[in-house]
Amino acid sequence: MTLRSTLVAVALLGATLATAGAPAQDKKSEDQSRQQASQWPEFQSPERGFAVAFPSKPEATSAAVAGQNPLVRYSFESYEGGDTVYRVVVLEYPPGRAPDPLDEAFYVRMVSAYAKDSASQVRRRGPATIAGRPGFEAITDDGRGKVNHIVSIVPAGDRIFMLITAGPRGHAASDGAEHFRDSFRVIDSAPQTTGSTSSAPPSP
């Protein structure tokens, strides 16, 4: 995922034309961004056991995880402005087969796999409380520092949820990223998979 050159040009122009009134304009922009995010509709997937606010209706896909069948990966993805993506990845294990408990080494391997797949570097990682549940969170950046990622991992029974969002520099601290993470909630339902699988962390 690359940032549009037009947005880069606009940002450079804005910096050149900055005036003493810029802080007030920045505050207004932040307020508008926060208000827009708060109005995102909630998307619910009872079958996959979660609800979250997306900026637009997400596209849903699913696939078996190579080498760990019947582990299934479900992905729900929504874009905002073409340069910012919001994604929920649901890893569903057969009943009773999810790794338990998840230790820090497992989380670190998941984050490292995401960083490798997204060609980004881990800047910060550590335990976090997400949707009232103990989990793990990491921030990664691409090598040029233009794309900012935040990955939140939430285990819940036979599922592991990954909340992933990426956008322009500083996106991890944006109102949109914060609202997306904070709007997430687990819906009590059981996965529909059966069988056995490995406890190795799958790639997101």
What are the residue ranges spanned by the domains of the chain? 22-186
Q: Look at residue 32 in the predicted model and tell me its pLDDT.
A: 56
- For domain 22-186, say whether CATH 3.40.1000.10 is its number: yes
pTM score, whole prediction: 0.76
pLDDT for res 203: 59
- pLDDT confidence bin for 193, thresholds 50/70/90: very low
d(CA 57, CA 77): 8
Rounded CA-CA distance 130/134 in Å is 6
At 100, list the tokens.
């338990």
Amino acid 26: pLDDT: 46
Q: What is the DSSP secondary structure assignment for residue 143, as one 8-state letter?
A: T
Using pLDDT thresholds of 50, 70 and 90, give the confidence band for residue 114.
very high
E strand or H helix that includes residue 95: none
| Pick from 6-15, 38-47, 107-116, 143-152: least confident | 6-15
Phi, psi of 130 (to 5 degrees): -130, 125
Helix axes 22-38, 175-183, angle to 10 degrees: 20
